[in-house]
Chain A
Amino acid sequence: MSVVTDIIERVRSIIFRRRDERELAEELEFHTAMEAAKLERRGLSPAEARRQTSLALGGVERVKDDVRDARGTRFLHDGQRDMAFALRTLLRNPGFAAVAILTLAVGIGGTTAVYSAVDAVLLQPLPYQQPGQLVRLYYTDVRRKEERGVVTPVHFLDYRQSMGAFSSIAALFLYSESGADIGTGDDVRRIRILPVSADYFDVVRVQPSIGRPFSRDEETDAPAVVLSHALWKEQFGGKPSAVGQSLMMNGRSFTVAGVMPDGFADPLAGSVDAWVPGDLRPGRDPNEAGNHYLSVIARLRPDVTIARAQAELDQLGATLAQRYPNARYAGARLDPLKEDIVGDSSKPLEIMLGAVAMVLILICVNLANLLLVRGTDRAREFALRSALGAERRRLVRQTLIESLTLALAGDVGGIIVAYFAMKAIVAIGAGSIPRLSTLELEPRLLVFSLVIASLSALGFGLWPALRAARTQPGDILREQGRSATSGGVQMRLRQWLVVSQVALAFVLLVGAGLLIASFQRIRQVPLGVRPEGVLAFELHLPEARYDSIARARFYETVAGRIAALPGVVAAGGVSKLPATGDFNIWGTQALTGPLANLDRGNIAGQNRVVSGRYFEAVGISLLDGRLFDEHDDASAPRRVIISRAAAERMFPGVRAVGQSLTTGGGPREIVGVVADVALDPQGRSGEGYVYHPHRQFAGDRNWSLVQVVRTTGSLEQLQGEVRRLIASLDPQLVMYKPMALTEAIGRGEAQRIFTLRLLTTFAGVALGLAALGLFGVLSYGVRLRRREFGIRMALGANGGSIRRMVLREGMVVTAIGVAIGLLGAVALSRVLASLVFGVSTLDPRVLASAAVFMALVAGFAAYLPAHRATSVEPSSVLQ
């Protein structure tokens, strides 16, 4: 009971402090007045009465102080006073305050920004109901379970029918970016569409906010469309009457079935403008058990674990193996959807967080160092205050509050830094790190930054504070800064702080160095193409106006006309740009040769459809036979060109040209063999490529070939010329996503670039801080040892030897730091392993360069203090 009133009273005193103070003053004034009146009644003059009263009652301020003590909120008032004092102290030394606050702002802001990314990408659950039930389904090789591939329609339909563990399962036709042209005339623009199976909306548990989802009857390429909220606003002005109306896409009329709620994003594709029913008609594709192109997600029943679902899936796999003996697989594996989406990006993000934390620690060490210097300068102040009766506790608190004041000021700056850093992270990371778009400076993050700031204050302030507490007033006041060796212990402490800075900076340098080395390695990976000087862009031909014959003709015409532009070497088109990933992996069987119709003669062929002079345009060299020409048209027998790897696998020991194989629904004659092309920028090689001439394959589907143009001139200029050329051929066509081929291939590397940029930034900051620390400690050392240097010089030492002494000291500190950092790099090598490509995490070249770099910077930082040491005038210190 009384504890409660006590707390209430204290809290009340905190809240109503001003009123309390006013009332206390009034109360005491009343008391004094009454006392004086009493004395007056005894015959004293009013003035005399007041005087005697004051004498009798003692100082009013003292009473007030005692009353404040009694309120139990003393610590707050003192805290406030200490804070004001801290501010004054800091303002007296604006240079120090500015350095401290700015570096803290960088550290706190950086940490907050990186944490925000980690939070958004890794920690936040998927924005769907019961996200834990969502799984991704991949086909897998029963012998190599780590393999993950997209699914065939026949397997998907069997999973949908038989799997009891799933409450729903959906297929997304994600295998290529699907676009559609909407609008007419000059208004044509391309939007992102995603064909999905009907149960998609059940799996994500988001239904259209108006209208209806698709039904399974519509999984026949039915002309129905569900719009995104944004497209609905744009095309129909946000009117509910849009449902039932028609929308022209690719020149074909679709009926609007529904509109998705605002903010809905596809879990795998992200922002999608419209959803259409995917075509799942059985028998649509003659090779349907061998064609993999469905991305499958499913929702587990509430009581089913992923392990149980996997067991059921394994059982089903055995049945499927018998049902489709010619399928390439029967196994499938489940991954939690979030894990699947976050995928490889978790490691870089975690490393980033570690790196930025290291930078923050460095900053704190730096500040601790600076505070220690100030502590020495202020030792006399503290000693004096201590001698005058200030409590130790008070002095510690005072110092800590100074640190806290700094940290809070740093936090304010840090929030500003975080705001811009988050924008930068989103900009750099977009496209390579999923879920980054949800990044926002939320209140949670402000709290986080405040916690970080307070921890930093404790981190850099505690040591100086404890030193202040250990002040021996007598010693310091006696010393008067006379001794030549004063501060020796502290000097050693500061040197160790710098050692730790060098170590941290070295680890970051090694990390950045490894990434740069990886990058160089990747650049050196032979991709089998020469992407420099090649412009790539998508060119979609709406089916309504272009049937397969027209498409076949048009793509060849475009290639030919572009080739005639000045500077153009060759132009062509392809269904998937080289080195940008898997695409149309179809079972491919040798029909002739030693492995004819044998299992060993069957490969997972990477099928590509090409037009124009694709091979010359991207720089794939012909090894045997010939390239496609105008005779390889619909009237001729079906022909293909295969890559060397495919030739060696399917036709070992014989000439592949002239042999035949079957893929994509029928037999093909091989007319040429070309060089191998990597599947991604890391140089991954598949089982081989099969290239089809578009002239013969246009009828299969609308391939929306990506056009590639090799030029000897500038890409920008070419882009303008090509745009005008296309407009002259068909003004309604869109030259979509033009970019350099190097950029298109590099996009697969975006994540590594993201990490590289951030890590090199951190390493640079760390290096600067370590240099600053070294500079500081050496300068301070020189200042302390002025007398010693003076004596040495008086005794005949020359400037060079003095300079070497200081430099050597700096190098020793650096060497110890590098040695410790080396141990750290070894300890962290497992973590770094996920970032590197083609180099060992302990690559001696990288480690040596980092060490040399560190030493150079350290030498630079040490030079000025060393130089200053030689400028000591012996006479000035020896007087």
Chain B
Amino acid sequence: MAGEPGELLQGTLEMMVLKTLSLEPMHGWGIAQRIQQMSNDVFLVTQGSLYPALIRMKRRGWLTTSWRVTENSRRARYYELTAAGRRQLGLEQASWQRASAAVNWVMNARLVPDGGRA
């Protein structure tokens, strides 16, 4: 699907990228793999959404980049969280947890029979 990622999806992707990078600096492919693995193959991160997101996050000052050599001795661009990125991760995690809990409450709600009905 070539459509633009929705607001929520894009925000979620950025949060997951931040989370991934909070574990260790990583290159783009690695981030995609990591998210795929950690989500048990639910999220398939495409290049088309990943790299623009990385650039945007870099523009906001959450990430820095550097070229390093991978364990397979190939050159790759590594992304690393900045302090601002860490703060952002904290904020997003908190608000995500609030939001997902709220969504869960809504989704798990049942119609309780109204006792006051005459």
Contacts and interface: CB of A to CB of B under 8 A. Distances in A.
B56 A63 contact: no
B52 A9 contact: no
Contacts of B52: 66-67, 69-70
Contact of A24 (B32, B49, B51): B51
B110 interface: no
B76 interface: yes
Interface in A1-60: 1-2, 5-6, 9-10, 23-24, 26-28, 30-31, 33-35, 38, 56-58, 60
Secondary structure of the A contact surface, majority rule: helix
A31 B56 contact: no
A67 B84 contact: no
Contact of A5 (B49, B60, B74, B77): B60
A239 interface: no
Contacts of A701: none
Given A23-B77, A71-B55, A30 B61 contact: no
Given A35-B29, A70-B55, A26 B75 contact: yes
B77 A62 contact: no
Contacts of A23: 67, 77
A72 interface: yes
Nearest to B4: A66
Interface in B1-58: 2, 27-29, 32-33, 46-49, 51-53, 55-56, 58
Nearest to B65: A23
B74 A6 contact: no
A71 B29 CA distance: 20
B58 A9 contact: yes
A718 to B, nearest CB: 83
Interface size class of A (residues with CB under 8 A): 20 to 34
B59 interface: yes
Nearest to A64: B51
Contacts of A70: 51-53, 55-56, 59
B75 A67 contact: no
Nearest to B30: A34
A34 B84 contact: no
Contact of A27 (B33, B51, B59, B61): B51
A63 B59 contact: no
A1 B60 CA distance: 9
Contacts of B60: 2, 5-6
Interface string B59-83: 1110000010000001111000000
Contacts of A34: 29
Contact of B51 (A1, A5, A67, A72): A67
Given A63-B47, A71-B55, A72-B59, A1 B84 contact: yes
B61 A5 contact: yes
A67 B29 CA distance: 15
Contacts of B48: 57-58, 62-63, 66
Contacts of B67: 23
Contacts of A72: 59
B47 A31 contact: yes
Contacts of A1: 61, 84
Nearest to B58: A9
A71 B59 CA distance: 8
Contact of A9 (B51, B59, B74): B59
B75 A30 contact: yes
Contacts of A69: 52
A30 B84 contact: no
A24 to B, nearest CB: 7
A34 B76 CA distance: 11
Given A1-B84, A34-B29, A28 B47 contact: yes
Given A5-B61, A58-B46, A30 B27 contact: yes
Contacts of A5: 59-61
B84 to A, nearest CB: 7
A67 B48 CA distance: 8
B47 A57 contact: yes
Contact of A10 (B2, B59, B75): B59
A33 B70 CA distance: 13
A30 B75 CA distance: 8
B2 to A, nearest CB: 8
B84 A2 contact: yes
Nearest to B59: A9
Contact of B74 (A24, A30, A60): A30
A18 B47 CA distance: 20
A36 to B, nearest CB: 11
A31 B79 CA distance: 14
Nearest to A71: B55
Contacts of A2: 60-61, 84
A31 B24 CA distance: 18
A71 to B, nearest CB: 6
Given A58-B46, A67-B51, A27 B28 contact: yes
A66 B59 CA distance: 15
Contacts of B47: 28, 31, 57-58, 60, 63
Contacts of A58: 2, 46-48
B92 to A, nearest CB: 15
Nearest to A28: B47
Given A27-B77, A30-B74, A67 B55 contact: yes
Residue from the set A2, A27, A28, A72 with the largest chain B CB neighbour count within 10 Å: A27
A67 B46 CA distance: 12
A584 to B, nearest CB: 80
A316 B87 CA distance: 80
Contacts of B77: 23, 26-27, 30
Interface in A55-93: 56-58, 60, 62-63, 66-67, 69-72
A6 B59 contact: yes
Contacts of A6: 59-61
Contacts of B51: 24, 27-28, 63, 66-67, 70
Contacts of B49: 66
A27 B55 contact: no
Nearest to A24: B51
Contacts of A56: 46
Contacts of B61: 1-2, 5-6
Nearest to A9: B59
Contacts of B84: 1-2
Query: Which of A24, A30, A69 gathers the greatest number of chain B CB atoms within 10 Å?
Result: A30
A353 to B, nearest CB: 46
Contacts of A24: 51
Contacts of A31: 28-29, 32, 47
**Most chain-A CB neighbours within 10 Å: which of B51, B59, B61, B74?**
B59
B102 to A, nearest CB: 27
A67 B51 CA distance: 6
Nearest to B49: A66
B55 A30 contact: no
23 contacts: A2-B84, A5-B61, A6-B60, A23-B77, A27-B51, A27-B77, A28-B47, A30-B28, A30-B75, A31-B47, A33-B74, A34-B29, A38-B33, A57-B47, A58-B47, A63-B47, A66-B48, A67-B55, A70-B52, A70-B53, A70-B55, A70-B59, A72-B59
Interface of A: 1-2, 5-6, 9-10, 23-24, 26-28, 30-31, 33-35, 38, 56-58, 60, 62-63, 66-67, 69-72
Given A5-B60, A30-B76, A58-B2, 5 more contacts: A2-B84, A30-B28, A30-B77, A63-B48, A66-B52
Sort A-B residue pairs by CB-CB distance and give the 10 closest, nearest first: A5-B61, A70-B52, A70-B55, A34-B29, A9-B59, A31-B29, A66-B52, A63-B47, A67-B51, A63-B48
